[in-house]
Chains A and B, each alone.
Chain A
Amino acid sequence: MVFDATAGLPESYRQSLVDRITRHAEPYLYTAPALILIVTIMLAPLVLGLSYAFRDVHLLNPFSGGYVGLDHFRTLYDDDNFYRALRNTLWWTGASVLLQFVFGLVLALLLDRPFAGRAIAQALVFLPWAVPTFLTGLNWAWLFNPVIGPLPHWLHALGFMNEPANILSNPQLAMWGPIVANVWWGIPFFAITLLAALQAIPRDLYEAAAIDGAGAIRRFTSITLPFLAPTIAITVLLRTVWISNFADLIIVMTSGGPADRTQIVASYIFTQAFRALDFGYASAIALVLLILLLAYSMLIVMLRQVLMDRG
C-alpha cells in the first residue's frame, strides 16, 4: 500500500494531540497514588478527628456520637492533668532538644576531622538511630531497673543516690528516664544533619583563615558557626515540633506515670484514646495541641523570613 502525503497529516496531528494530553496528564498520573493515599489515610481522618472534638465519641458506647458543642473544651479548661501534661511537654521537649543538639554538634565536629577508622566509628555512633524506638524505651527502662540494670548501682556508687533505686518510679526524677533514652536515640540525627552541613563548608576558607593567623576558636566562631546557622535553626525548630509529639518512649517506659509526672500532651491523647477509649475528649486535646503547634510553626516561618531578609 502507498500512503500519500496529505493522508498522513491528520494522523500525525491526532498523534500529537494524544501526545499533548498524555504529556499534560503525566505528572498527575505519577503523583495520583501518593496523593490519594495521603488524602484518604491522613487528611480524611484529620477532618474526622476535628469533628470528634465536638462530639461525644466513646468506642464501647454504641449510642455515643451526638454533638456536645464545646463540652470537651470546658472539661479541658478545668483539667489539671492537661496543664501538667503541657508543662511536662515543655520540659521534655526543651531538655531533649537541647541535649541532643549540643551532643550532636560536638559529635559532628569530631567526625568532620579525618582520622583512621572514621568510617567504622561513624557507623557505630550512628547505630542508636536504627534501634526501633520501642526497643530503645524498653532497653533504657531495663538499664534503669535496679534488678538487672547497672545504672542505679553506678549512681549509688558515685553518691548520687542513697540506695540503688529506679528513677522511673521516682516522681521527681522519672522524666529524666525518657529524656536520657531520647537523647541517646536522637544524637545521631543531629550529628548526621550537621555533619552534612559541615562538609559543605569550603575547606580553603579555613586555610585562608589559618594563614591570616586565626586560631581554632576564632575559625569556629567566624566560619563554622555562621555557615551552620541556617541548618541549626531549621533542624532545631523542626525537631522541636517532632519531639514534642514523640510519645513512644514515654508510653513504653512509664506510661505517663508515676503520678502523671511524665505525661506529655501527646501521650495524654494516646492514653485517652487507647485506655479510656474516649475518642471525643482525645480529639479535643489533639485540636488544642494542633493549634499550639500551628502557632509555633507560624513563629518559625516569621523567624525564617527575618533571617532570610538579613542574609
Chain B
Amino acid sequence: MNRYSTFGTALHRLAILCYVVFALFPLFWLLKVSVTPNDLLYSEGVRMWPSRMSFEHFRFVLAHSAFPVFFRNSMIVAGATAVIVTLLASLSGYALSRFTFRGKYWLVALMLLTQMFPLVMLVAPIFKMLSPLGLTNSLTGLVVVYTAFNIPFATFLMQSFFDGIPKELEEAAKIDGATQFMAFRQIVLPLTLPGIAATLGFVFTAAWSELLFALMLISGNSAATFPVGLLTFVSKFSVDFGQMMAAGVLALIPACLFFLFIQRYLVQGLTAGAVKG
C-alpha cells in the first residue's frame, strides 16, 4: 500500500510537471528568441538558451517602431473598457441580484443570447453603423464596441459576487434611513472589491486580446491597437523574428500582470457566470 502510494505520488508530481512544462514552454521560447541576437538566431536554432543574450530587439522595438503607440492605444482602450464595463455591470448585476422586476426574465434571456451568437456576424454591420458617426479608426469607437460586448458576461459575474453578500446588511442600513442606492454604494460595493477587481481583470484581458473588430475598424498606425499593429508588422517584416517576439513579450506583460492579480479568484468566481472564455 505504502509503496503504491509513493509511486502514485511520484506519478502525480510528474504529470503536474508535464502540464507546467507544456504551459510554459511556448512563452519561454518567445522570451528566448526575443533576447537572442540576430547573428545567433539561425546558427543556434534549437538551443534552449542563446550563448549570448542581448536586448537589442527590445531597444529597437521601443525606440524605432510604432509599438509604443500601439501599446498606449491598447492601454487606453482596454483600461477605459474595463472601467466603464465594471461600473455599468456592477449596477446591472446589483439589479439582477437584489430586485425582482417586470422584464427581468427577458433581460437575462437577452444577455444569454448575446453570449451564444457569433460576434463575427456583427463585423460588417457594426462597421457600416460606426463609419458615418466617425467612430471607425478611432479608439472611442473600439471602447464603445468592446464595452457592449463585455457587459453581459461582466453583469453575470458581478451578480454572482453580489449574491454572496447577505441582504441583511442593506436592510439594516435602510432601517437607519439610507436609500437603496446609498446602501449599495457605501455597504455592498466595498464588500465586493475582490469581485470588482476580478471583473476589471477579465474585461481588461478580453479587450486587450480582441483582434477581429480591431482589424476591421482600424486602419493605419495612429489608432492601431497592439494586435493590429503586431499583425501588420508580421505581414510586412516577416523575417524580423527577434523584433516581433520582443513586441510579443511586451504584449504579454499587462495581461499576465492582471492574471497573476486575479488568478486566486478564478476557481471561486468564474463558475458562477462562466459561459465565455
Contacts and interface: CB of A to CB of B under 8 A. Distances in A.
Interface in A23-50: 23-24, 26-28, 30-31, 33-35, 37-38, 40-46, 48-49
A106 B33 contact: no
B205 A130 contact: yes
A77 interface: no
A201 interface: no
Interface of B: 9, 12-13, 15-16, 19-20, 22-24, 26-27, 29-30, 33, 41-42, 45-46, 88-89, 91-92, 94-96, 99, 101, 104, 107, 110-111, 114, 116-129, 144-145, 147-149, 151-152, 155, 180-181, 205, 208-209, 211-212, 215-216, 226-227, 230-231, 234, 241, 244-245, 248, 251-252, 255-256, 258-260, 263-264, 266-268, 270-271, 274-277
A163 to B, nearest CB: 14
A124 B24 contact: yes
A273 B125 CA distance: 10
B245 A41 contact: no
Specify which of A23, A34, A128, A269 lies most central, judged by the most chain B CB atoms within 10 Å of its CB: A34
A56 to B, nearest CB: 13
Given A30-B95, A143-B29, A37 B148 contact: yes
B89 A34 contact: yes
- For the complex, would chain A's binding face be called helix, strand, loop or mixed by DSSP majority? helix
15 contacts: A27-B104, A30-B91, A57-B128, A113-B12, A121-B19, A131-B27, A131-B252, A135-B251, A139-B26, A140-B26, A187-B19, A238-B275, A245-B120, A248-B212, A270-B120
Nearest to B15: A110
A177 to B, nearest CB: 13
Nearest to B271: A196
Contact of A245 (B22, B118, B252): B118
B231 to A, nearest CB: 7
B263 A123 contact: yes
B126 A41 contact: yes
A94 interface: no
Given A38-B152, A123-B260, A138 B234 contact: yes
B129 A189 contact: no
Contacts of B27: 127-128, 131, 139
B248 A28 contact: no
A101 interface: no
Contacts of A186: 277
B119 A245 contact: yes
Band of interface residues on A: 35 or more
Contact of B263 (A126, A251, A286): A126
Contacts of B251: 132, 135
Contact of B248 (A37, A113, A129, A135): A135
Interface stretch (A5-13, A68-76, A147-155): A147-155
A105 interface: no
A34 B124 CA distance: 23
A138 B230 contact: yes
Given A40-B148, A140-B26, A242 B129 contact: no
Contacts of A266: 118, 120
Contact of B46 (A34, A48, A119, A150): A150
Contact of A130 (B13, B101, B255): B255
B217 to A, nearest CB: 10
Given A31-B107, A132-B208, A153-B46, A282 B124 contact: yes
A129 to B, nearest CB: 7
B142 to A, nearest CB: 11
A202 to B, nearest CB: 17
Specify which of B33, B125, B244 lies most central, judged by the most chain A CB atoms within 10 Å of its CB: B125
B271 A106 contact: no
Given A34-B151, A41-B148, A290 B234 contact: no
Contacts of B114: 38, 42
Contacts of A31: 91-92, 95-96, 107
Nearest to A244: B118
B216 A273 contact: yes
B266 A126 contact: yes
A38 B120 contact: no
A16 interface: no
